C-alpha cells in the first residue's frame, strides 16, 4: 500500500509565473486535502475534495489559486501569477471518510518564489 | 472557531530523559477528534495518534503515551526515555467528527531536540 505522493518535491519560480502541483492520494481514499505550511507554523487548511467534488475552500485560497480533482483520483493545485508571499510548503493529505477519517500526508512540495 | 495552542515552542533534552509536550484546544463541537503528528527534518507529517472526544482513556504505545483530559481541554503527549530519533517538530491538531469537513486545525508545533 503506497502512501500519498506529491510532485514536484521542490519548485523555484520567478514572481508572476504560474505553477502547478500534483498529489496522488492513497488509492482507496475518497477525501483529499490541501494545506499550506509556512516556516515556523503549523499547516493551514486550503481546500478539500470528496471524490471529485470540491466541498470547501478556505479564505486563504485567493482567486489566483485553483484546485481540481478530475475523476476523483489525483489532484492538482495551480497558482497563477505567483507572489513572494506564496513561498511555502504545500501539503496534500488523503483519508477514507467513515469511522476513522485519519488524514495521511504526502512529503509536500516546497515552493520558492523569487 | 477551533483553536489549538502549543505554548512550548522548543524543548531540548538529553537522551533517556522523559519529556511531555503540551496541547490545549478550543472547540464548540461536542464531538471532535484530536491528533498528534510528527514532522522530522525530512518534512513529511507522520500520524501518531487519533483520539475521539468520547474516549478519555489514556493510551500508551511503546515509549509514547497520551493524556486526554476533557475537563481542562488538554491532550498532552509524553515520550519516555527519549532517543535522538525523536528529534522533530510535533504538532497537535483538532478536527470535527467524520462526516463533516474533517479539516485539521493545527497548533504551531513544538520543536524537540534530543541530545546524545
Of A4, A1, A11, A10, whose CA–CA distance to A33 is shortest?
A4
Three cell numbers written together for A114: 523569487
At B71, is the secondary structure helix, strand, or coil? Answer: helix
Three cell numbers written together for A37: 505550511
Instruction: List, as ranges, residues 27-46 from A with C-beta within 8 Å of B.
Output: 31, 33, 35, 40-45
Of B21, B23, B19, whose CA–CA distance to B106 is shortest?
B23
Measure CB to CB from residue A45 to each of B45, B47, B104 and give the nearest one.
B104
Contact predicate B37/B94, CB 8 Å: no
Of B4, B62, B11, whose CA–CA distance to B34 is shortest?
B4
Between CA A74 and CA A93 the distance in angstroms is 11
Determine which of B33, B41, B44 to mutate to test the interface with A (most A C-beta atoms within 10 Å). B44
Between CA B21 and CA B8 the distance in angstroms is 7
pLDDT in tens, B33-73: 999 999 998 889 999 999 989 888 888 889 999 999 999 99
Q: B101 to chain A: which residues are within 8 Å by CB?
A: 48, 55-56
Average pLDDT over residues A82-99: 92
pLDDT in tens, A6-61: 999 999 999 999 999 999 999 989 999 999 999 999 999 999 999 999 999 998 88
- Say whether A103 and B104 touch across the interface (CB within 8 A): yes
Rg, chain B, Cα only: 14
Amino acid at each position: 500500500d503506497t502512501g500519498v505522493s506529491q510532485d514536484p518535491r521542490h519548485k523555484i519560480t520567478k514572481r508572476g509565473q504560474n505553477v502547478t502541483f500534483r498529489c496522488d492520494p492513497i488509492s482507496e481514499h475518497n477525501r483529499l486535502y490541501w494545506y499550506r505550511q509556512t516556516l515556523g507554523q503549523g499547516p493551514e487548511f486550503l481546500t478539500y475534495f470528496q471524490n471529485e467534488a470540491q466541498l470547501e475552500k478556505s479564505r486563504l485560497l485567493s482567486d489566483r489559486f485553483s484546485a481540481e480533482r478530475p475523476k476523483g483520483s489525483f489532484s492538482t493545485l495551480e497558482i497563477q501569477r505567483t507572489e513572494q508571499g506564496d513561498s511555502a510548503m504545500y501539503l496534500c493529505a488523503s483519508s477514507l471518510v467513515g469511522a476513522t477519517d485519519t488524514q495521511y500526508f504526502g512529503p509536500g512540495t516546497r515552493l520558492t518564489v523569487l | 472557531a477551533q483553536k489549538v495552542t502549543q505554548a512550548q515552542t522548543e524543548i531540548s533534552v538529553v537522551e533517556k530523559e522523559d519529556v511531555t509536550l503540551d496541547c490545549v484546544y478550543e472547540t464548540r463541537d461536542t464531538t471532535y477528534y484530536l491528533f498528534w503528528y510528527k514532522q522530522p527534518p525530512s518534512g513529511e507529517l507522520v500520524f501518531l495518534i487519533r483520539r475521539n472526544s468520547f474516549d478519555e482513556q489514556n493510551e500508551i504505545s511503546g515509549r509514547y503515551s497520551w493524556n486526554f483530559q476533557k475537563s481542562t481541554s488538554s491532550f498532552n503527549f509524553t515520550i519516555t526515555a527519549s532517543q535522538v530519533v525523536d528529534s522533530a517538530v510535533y504538532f497537535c491538531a483538532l478536527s470535527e467528527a467524520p462526516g463533516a469537513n474533517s479539516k485539521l486545525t493545527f497548533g504551531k508545533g513544538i520543536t524537540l531536540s534530543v541530545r546524545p
